Chains A and B, each alone.
Chain A
Amino acid sequence: MKTRAFWWRKIEPVVLGVAGLLLVALLWQLASSLRWLNPLLVSSPEQIFRAAARLSANGELWGDLGITVVEFAISFFAASFVGILLGLIMGWYRRAEYTFEPFLWLLFSTPLIAFYPLLLVWFGFGFNTVVVMGFLFAFIPITINTMAGVKHSSPVLVRAAKSFGANNRQILMKVALPSALPMIVTGLRIGVERALIGVIVGEMFCSNSGLGFHISYYGARLETANLFVALVIVILLGLILTQAFRILESRLMKWRQN
């Protein structure tokens, strides 16, 4: 009896979670089939499956997914590189921190999307602007978290390294960077979320390809089933990426505590 309770407790969240999803899908399908809601506007799971099969058969879905993923990857890696580098500098040199921090917070609280007309002028319509938008959205939290991580690396460890004759570079590489790692990963996780937002917004406003563009395109043409296909892919993409980083994050936390 006891083992059974244990076994149930383990799978209960999974069973209930799947049940919840199925329940929502069922209600959605019913609402659409029985015309409680206008099927033209809300579509239905069945129509979405058909649309997904059609879009993936003619390759459109994969093309869009490819473009969005490439744009996302470039902007995220650029943001990680710049963010970690800038964060290390700001965490290490107090004056750099004091100089740049006000601008970071300023940039963090501005609605960056407002600058898309300027980005269009500078980087042209399409791919480049989308990448820049993703980069702008993502690099700030990465910088701030890296900086905080480096700043809060244990002074005892730094002093110990110093008294054993480590030079500045060694302290940075062997002490500050490893102890800042969990914070950096947290920053990267937030950066992933924000890069994806930036790329989708960028595609909606200044591109003619990718998942974000097609969400807005199908919306304007009232093709709700197609819209939902693109939307679900975006949701899955966000879910997979953030969960991967969350797992990495909790692993690192555990490793630190041990």
Chain B
Amino acid sequence: MYTSLSMRQRWGIGSFIVFLALWELNRHLALIKPDLVSSPGRVIVAGWRLLTDGEFYSHLYVSMLELFCGFFLAVVSGLIIGALIGRYRIIGSLFDPLQMALYSTPTVALVPLFVLWFGVGVGSKVFIVFIASFFPVLMNTASGIRQVDPLLTRMSRSFGATDWQMFQKVLLPGALPAIITGIRLGWGRGIIGFVIGEMYVSLKGLGYLIRTYGNAVQTDYLFFLVVFVAAIGLIGTNLFRRLEQTLSPWREEEGTR
């Protein structure tokens, strides 16, 4: 185990270094037009310039505000509605086709509509993040609740548990690993949501910066921002994944997008 792990790391790090070296070398050899792909050195310089510039943090603040508001709303409402759908068969079947349709909709297609409804500012992005992360949370919560051992629910019922007690003591703990999976998938989709929303139309935010630098073909800034956003996504995803593994190392997830 130890040797295979270290071999994986050796090859991974090695290939990454080779990649960075080739990328840097391209600036001198110009195999691909250097303006279009930048180089690691210039990306770091651009990143330093952005991070030491106060303007950047106001963009970051707007994006994070959108991301966290939308994500929080999605988790809360996804949990509540998911629990209802998972618990009560009639509610479940009533909304099943609707939920199926919206789950497999590319949420980006809703962006223009949300801009019409909620304006070009923070409002529309909060809702885009919301709708992007809502469905993974909802689907996984519902399927998690459905998968709770029926023996446990029957037993708690026969010991006279009320609906609320059963939910609190049996269903929620049983479905928790699935719920965390949903939250993790929702986080990833929320990140893509705010970037696309801001790139589509916005006045401020990381997506706005990406679009501005992209259209000016200032690739050093563009690449830095892309890596920055990817890092936000990766940190959250790894956090949730770790939480998931401590809660239940064995289960499989519903839909990975």
Residues of chain A touching chain B, judged by Cβ–Cβ distance below 8 Å, are 12-13, 16-21, 23-24, 41-42, 94-95, 98-103, 106, 109-111, 113-118, 121-122, 141, 190, 193-194, 196-197, 200-201, 204-205, 211-212, 215-216, 218-220, 222, 224, 227, 231, 234-236, 238-239, 241-243
Contact = CB atoms under 8 A, between A and B. Distances in A.
A115 B226 contact: yes
Secondary structure class of chain B's binding surface, majority of residues: helix
Contact of A239 (B94, B100, B217, B256): B100
A220 B115 CA distance: 9
Nearest to B210: A114
Contacts of B113: 215, 219, 224, 227, 231
B94 A20 contact: yes
B229 A114 contact: yes
Nearest to A199: B106
Contacts of B188: 109
B101 A235 contact: yes
B217 A121 contact: yes
Give 9 closest A-B pairs by Cβ, nearest first. A219-B112, A98-B11, A117-B214, A16-B93, A20-B94, A197-B106, A111-B195, A238-B104, A13-B93
A114 B214 contact: yes
Interface of B: 7-8, 10-12, 14-16, 19, 36-37, 90, 93-98, 100-102, 104-106, 108-113, 115-117, 188, 191-192, 195-196, 199-200, 210, 214-215, 217, 219, 222, 225-227, 229-230, 233-234, 237, 255-257
Interface-centre pick from A21, A205, A219 (highest chain B CB count, 10 A)? A219
Secondary structure class of chain A's binding surface, majority of residues: helix
Contacts, number: 161
Given A17-B96, A117-B214, 5 more contacts: A16-B96, A121-B36, A190-B257, A196-B106, A231-B109
